[in-house]
Every structure is written in structure tokens, then in C-alpha cells.
């Protein structure tokens, strides 16, 4: 039986839940939210939809004990308005609120007997995931976040538009913080199987890497300005990771996880399977890229300590 939990049924959480149900990925789904009426409403809405679906999901609500035998728990709670209200528009603006949420969630999740994989979408993504791991004491490999998995999709879109190809045919990684200090590891990027610079030369294209990177970095902010939050892509990334866990897919992708070298959670490529992170991937970065990764890791550590 494939069982999932979603803690925090806001824009992202409900999109995760909807995807799990309508795609027939979950046999059982547990929804938990501080707002009882919202939890009931989303349960009923999902139950009603199943009369028109080819699959059936048993949807339960508001019971941490039900998470004991869950394979994956998504933690998507937050206060997105904090970002809008801040002067900087930084994801760090949520840290004050998400730490309080973790303080409430962590002991209940631990006491439930849950022993699966936790996938976090909260902000600031890297720091709050490390804080959650500390508060629960769960194995590092079983507490991960979407991290730069999301930012990598934005890079793929930007590069695909530049070359006129499908974004699925763009490979490579955005690494570092899910935030301002992230960077595209251009040495890892390939388009239709060719290194990006090689294909650009073949097509007589001039590439402004700084501009492409800025487009990718600002992608989420453009969405946030337009509709007040992001939901579809981040939920899709989270579900993709959840599927990798339940199918032991050994999926290679960037996630936020503990980096042994820098001793902080940071976005880097890894292999995801039934036990969460089953292996790390250390791409051969240029000296400049390695410096950027170190800077991003230190940025996360410094803010984590001072917040």
C-alpha cells in the first residue's frame, strides 16, 4: 500500500494532494492542517472527485497517528505572505514563522512512529529542513527538501527557450541555496546531449550566461508577483521525489540535503530511492563553481546561526 501524508494544506499542499489522488499515486492519503475547516473541505473535495477517477484513494485527516506507516510525508506549511510583506522579498522572511511550525510539527511527527522519508517545501528551504532534522532526530538521508530541484526546472525552461528545444532535453544542475545565492553549474548543462557551449557554437548563438541565470533565479518571483504564490511546479517536484521513494527509482536529481564538506543543508545532486538519499553525486565543477557553492553554503550557515 502506498501511503502519503501532507502537513499543511495550503496552495502547495493541496496541489500535492490533488496530484497524488488524480494520478492514482496514493492508496492512502493523510491531510493535516491547523485549520480544521480547511482540512475537512479538502478531504470532501478530493473524495467527491473520485467518482470520476479511474483510481481510489482513502483520504484521512487530522491524525498524526495515521502517519506511522506512511512511506512519505510532505511538509508544505508556511506563511507565504511574509515574503510579500518583507522589504527584500527574500524566502528568509518566512523563517520566523516556519521555525514555530516545525516546533509544533516535529514532536508530533516523531511521536507518531513515522519512519519514512520527509520531503520539505517550506522556506527558507535549506535552513528549515536542517532545523526539522535536528528537531526530529530522523536520519539525514530521510529528511530532504525540494531545494534547487525547482530552480533547475526554471533553468531548463530558460535554456530550452533560448535553443528552441523541449525543456526535458536540457540537463544539468542549479546548485546551492534555494534562494539568492544559488547558481547554475554551467559546466554540467547539456542541450540535446551536447555541452551547452558546444551547441551554441554550432548554432552560432551568443550566450549571456549571467542573463540566463538571472532569468532562472527570478522565475519564481515573477510567478509570485502575478498570483501571490507558486504552487504547480514546486508540487510537481515534490511528487516526483515522492514517487522516486515509493518505487525506489534511484532518481538522480538535485535536492536540499546535508553536504558533508560544508556541514549544512544545500542544493546538490543526489540519488533518491526508498531510503531517501541513497548516494550523493559530486559533479566535477570548475573552480569558480566550487567557490560559488562554498559561498552559498556559508550564506545558509551564517543566516541559520543568526536567525
For the chain, how many structural domains are there in total?
2
Answer for the pair 159, 219: CB distance below 8 angstroms, yes or no. no
Beta-carbon count within 10 A of 137 CB = 9
Determine if residue 211 is labeled as part of a ligand binding site: no
Give the full edge-to-edge strand order of the sheet including 251-259: 58-61, 28-32, 3-7, 72-75, 117-120, 143-145, 251-259, 264-273, 276-280
Return the bridge partners of 145, or none: 120, 256
**Are 179 and 38 part of one and the same domain?**
no
Same domain, yes or no, for 156 and 138? no
Rounded to whole angstroms, the Cα distance separating 52 from 75 reads 28
The answer to whether residues 59 and 191 belong to one domain is no
Verify that 34 and 134 share a domain, yes or no.
yes
Residues assigned a catalytic role: 178
Residue 267 marked in a binding site: no
Q: Which domain holds residue 152?
A: 148-306
Q: Are residues 156 and 280 in the same domain?
A: yes
Query: CATH no. for residue 117?
Result: 3.40.50.720
pLDDT at 256: 98
Say if residues 82 and 93 touch (Cβ distance below 8 Å).
yes
pLDDT of residue 291: 98
Q: Residues 110, 49: one domain?
A: yes
Annotation-wise, does 10 bind a ligand? yes
Cβ neighbours for 307, distance < 8 A, ≥ 6 positions apart: 92, 95, 96, 99, 127
Identify the band that residue 95 occupies on the pLDDT scale cut at 50, 70 and 90.
confident
How confident is residue 4, by pLDDT bands cut at 50, 70 and 90?
A: very high
Classify strands 58-61 and 194-195 as parallel, antiparallel or unpaired: unpaired
9 is in an annotated binding site: yes
**Same structural domain, 161 and 296:** yes
Q: Quick one: 66 and 198 in the same domain?
A: no
What is the chain's mean pLDDT, rounded? Answer: 94
CATH of the domain at 199: 3.90.110.10
Residues 27, 4: Cα–Cα separation, whole Å: 8
Same domain, 136 and 252: no
13 is in an annotated binding site: yes
pLDDT of amino acid 306: 65
Question: In the Cβ-directed half-sphere of 189, how many Cα atoms lie within 13 Å?
Answer: 27
**Same structural domain, 271 and 190:** yes
Q: Given this model, what pLDDT does residue 88 score? A: 54
Instruction: Using pLDDT thresholds of 50, 70 and 90, give the confidence band for residue 307.
Output: low
- Give the model confidence (pLDDT) of 209-252 as tens digits: 999 999 998 888 889 889 988 999 999 999 999 999 999 999 99
CA distance 158 to 289: 20
What per-residue confidence (pLDDT) applies to 287?
98
Q: What is the pLDDT of residue 94?
A: 84
Which of 145, 163, 193 corresponds to the end of one domain?
145
pLDDT in tens, 192-206: 999 999 999 999 999
Average pLDDT rounded to a whole number, residues 50-68: 98
**Are 183 and 302 within one domain?**
yes
Residue at a domain's end among 145, 165, 190: 145
HEC profile for 194-235? EEHHHHHHHCCCCCCHHHHHHHHHHHHHHHHHHHCCCCHHHH
> pLDDT tens across 255-273, in order?
999 999 999 999 999 999 9
pLDDT in tens, 64-89: 999 999 999 999 997 765 555 545 55
pLDDT of 221 reads: 86
| Residue 11 annotated as part of some ligand binding site | yes
Say whether pLDDT at 174 is over 90: yes
**Nearest Cα to 222, choosing from 157, 149, 296, 145?**
157
Is 224 annotated in a binding site? The answer is: no
Which of 145, 180, 213 corresponds to the end of one domain?
145
In the predicted structure, residue 165 carries a pLDDT above the cut 70 = yes
Q: Within this chain, do residues 159 and 300 fall inside the same structural domain, yes or no? A: yes
Confidence (pLDDT) at 271: 98
Amino acid at each position: 500500500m502506498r501511503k502519503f501524508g501532507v502537513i499543511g494544506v495550503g496552495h502547495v499542499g493541496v496541489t500535492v494532494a490533488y496530484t497524488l489522488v488524480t494520478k492514482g499515486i496514493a492508496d492512502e492519503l493523510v491531510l493535516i492542517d491547523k485549520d480544521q475547516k480547511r482540512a475537512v473541505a479538502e478531504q470532501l473535495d478530493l473524495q467527491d472527485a473520485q467518482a470520476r477517477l479511474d483510481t481510489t484513494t482513502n483520504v484521512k485527516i487530522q491524525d498524526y497517528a495515521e502517519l506511522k506507516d506512511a512511506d512519505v510525508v510532505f511538509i508544505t506549511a508556511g506563511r507565504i505572505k511574509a515574503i510579500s510583506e518583507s522589504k527584500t522579498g527574500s524566502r528568509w522572511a518566512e523563517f520566523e514563522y516556519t521555525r514555530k511550525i516545525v516546533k509544533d510539527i516535529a514532536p508530533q511527527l516523531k511521536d507518531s512512529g513515522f519512519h519514512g522519508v520527509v520531503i520539505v517545501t517550506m522556506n527558507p528551504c535549506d535552513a528549515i529542513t536542517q532545523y526539522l532534522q535536528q528537531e526530529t532526530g530522523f536520519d539525514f538521508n530521510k529528511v530532504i527538501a525540494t531545494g534547487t530541484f525547482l530552480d533547475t526546472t526554471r533553468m531548463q525552461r530558460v535554456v530550452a527557450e533560448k535553443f528552441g528545444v523541449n525543456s526535458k532535453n536540457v540537463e544539468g544542475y542549479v546548485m546551492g541555496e534555494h534562494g539568492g545565492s544559488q547558481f547554475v553549474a554551467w559546466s554540467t548543462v547539456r542541450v540535446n546531449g551536447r555541452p551547452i557551449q558546444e551547441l551554441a557554437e554550432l548554432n552560432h548563438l551568443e550566450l549571456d550566461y549571467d542573463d540566463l541565470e538571472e532569468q532562472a533565479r527570478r522565475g519564481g518571483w515573477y510567478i509570485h508577483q502575478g498570483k501571490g504564490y507558486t504552487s504547480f511546479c514546486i508540487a510537481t517536484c515534490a511528487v516526483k521525489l515522492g514517487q522516486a521513494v515509493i518505487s525506489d527509482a534511484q532518481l538522480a536529481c538535485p535536492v536540499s540535503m546535508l553536504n558533508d564538506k560544508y556541514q549544512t543543508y544545500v542544493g546538490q545532486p543526489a540519488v533518491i530511492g526508498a531510503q531517501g538519499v541513497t548516494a550523493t553525486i559530486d559533479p566535477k565543477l570548475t573552480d569558480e563553481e566550487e567557490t560559488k557553492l562554498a559561498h552559498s553554503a556559508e550564506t545558509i550557515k551564517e543566516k541559520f546561526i543568526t536567525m
